[in-house]
């Protein structure tokens, strides 16, 4: 038995939970991703989660909670992507998904660029920048079917980060841990101002994790006013 076999078994079982029939090639990609993450983490401190089974459950499978909500032909921007979650795991199981990874930290962008080359990922772009700046740029503003982020900020701030990227008819999808109901209630005014409506919370379970996870989905019903997102730092300091 190789050292990677327990990880592969966990990946296959976890993926099947989301009705993903993981191929051997996709499994190999996840293993390579794990190996690169471990190697680079020694230099760059990309994540505090390094134990193999936790990387699978808390990074890879947690990212795949969005899989049932997406279509292969969609375009997705992952805001504050960090070490590539959730964008790269989703790309691995949805080859036609067009993905942009937005990350403001240079060393993390260097790692993401390395992953794109190492894993030979196509239709995946790494952009170095902040959400407030990219959200005002014509190359990215209101260009995506889905804008997502994982544990970046509270929803009242996150709405201002994400909704400017979303096309009318698309969705903001925020990955959250504990029940975000009170957080969502706090964010309803901001969501409305930014062009969103009909927020919905999906409760999801992840094999290997006791605590439930949640996905907050917000439909983009109208264009975001031009003044949003506000200048860098303001959405966090002064939430709508």
pLDDT digits (tens, 9 = 90+) for 170-222: 999 999 998 999 999 999 999 999 999 999 999 999 988 888 899 999 999 99
Beta strand pairing call for 213-220 and 196-204: antiparallel
Q: Is 127 helix (H, G, I), strand (E, B) or coil?
A: strand
- Identify the pLDDT of residue 1: 37
- Identify the pLDDT of residue 50: 85
- For the chain, the structural domain boundaries read 1-129, 131-240
Residues in the chain: 240
Spatial contact of 97 and 70, defined as CB atoms under 8 Å apart: yes
Full-model pTM:
0.95
**Structure-token match 């089974």, residue found:** 53
CA–CA gap between residue 96 and residue 169 (Å, rounded): 20
CA–CA gap between residue 139 and residue 44 (Å, rounded): 29
User: To which H or E segment does residue 53 belong?
Assistant: helix 52-54
- Identify the pLDDT of residue 2: 52
pLDDT per residue over 219-229, tens digit each?
A: 999 999 999 99
- Identify the pLDDT of residue 136: 98
Q: Which residues contact 236 (CB under 8 A, 6 or more apart)?
A: 153, 157
Task: Kindly state the tokens that stand for 36.
Answer: 């690169």
CA–CA gap between residue 207 and residue 199 (Å, rounded): 26
Q: What's the CATH number for 1-129?
A: 3.40.50.150
Is there a shared CATH topology between the 1-129 domain and the 131-240 domain?
yes
CA–CA gap between residue 234 and residue 107 (Å, rounded): 24
How many helices (H) and strands (E) in the chain? 10, 7
CA–CA gap between residue 110 and residue 20 (Å, rounded): 30
CA–CA gap between residue 141 and residue 229 (Å, rounded): 10
Task: Kindly state the tokens that stand for 135.
Answer: 């959200």
**Structure-token match 């709508």, residue found:** 240
**Structure-token match 């994540």, residue found:** 47
Task: Kindly state the tokens that stand for 130.
Answer: 């902040």
Question: For the chain, which residues score pLDDT lower than 50?
Answer: 1
Looking at domain 131-240, its CATH class is alpha beta
């Amino acid at each position: 038995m190789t050292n990677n076999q327990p990880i592969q078994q966990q990946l296959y079982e976890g993926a099947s939970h989301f009705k993903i029939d993981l191929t051997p090639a996709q499994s190999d990609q996840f293993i390579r991703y794990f190996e690169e993450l471990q190697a680079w983490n020694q230099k760059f401190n990309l994540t505090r989660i390094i134990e193999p089974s936790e990387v699978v459950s808390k990074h890879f499978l947690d990212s795949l909670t969005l899989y049932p909500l997406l279509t292969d032909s969609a375009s997705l921007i992952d805001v504050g992507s960090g070490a590539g979650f959730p964008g790269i795991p989703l790309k691995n199981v949805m080859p036609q998904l067009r993905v942009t990874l937005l990350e403001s930290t240079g060393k993390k962008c260097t790692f993401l660029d390395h992953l794109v080359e190492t894993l030979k990922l196509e239709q995946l772009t790494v952009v170095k920048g902040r959400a407030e700046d990219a959200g005002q740029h014509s190359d990215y503003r209101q260009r995506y079917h889905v804008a997502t982020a994982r544990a970046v900020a509270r929803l009242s701030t996150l709405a201002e980060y994400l909704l400017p990227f979303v096309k009318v008819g698309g969705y903001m999808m925020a990955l959250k841990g504990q029940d975000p109901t009170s957080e969502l209630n706090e964010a309803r005014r901001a969501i409305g101002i930014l062009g969103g409506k009909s927020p919905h919370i999906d409760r999801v379970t992840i094999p290997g994790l006791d605590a439930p996870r949640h996905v907050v989905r917000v439909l983009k019903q109208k264009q975001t006013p031009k003044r949003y997102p506000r200048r860098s730092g303001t959405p966090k300091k002064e939430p709508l």
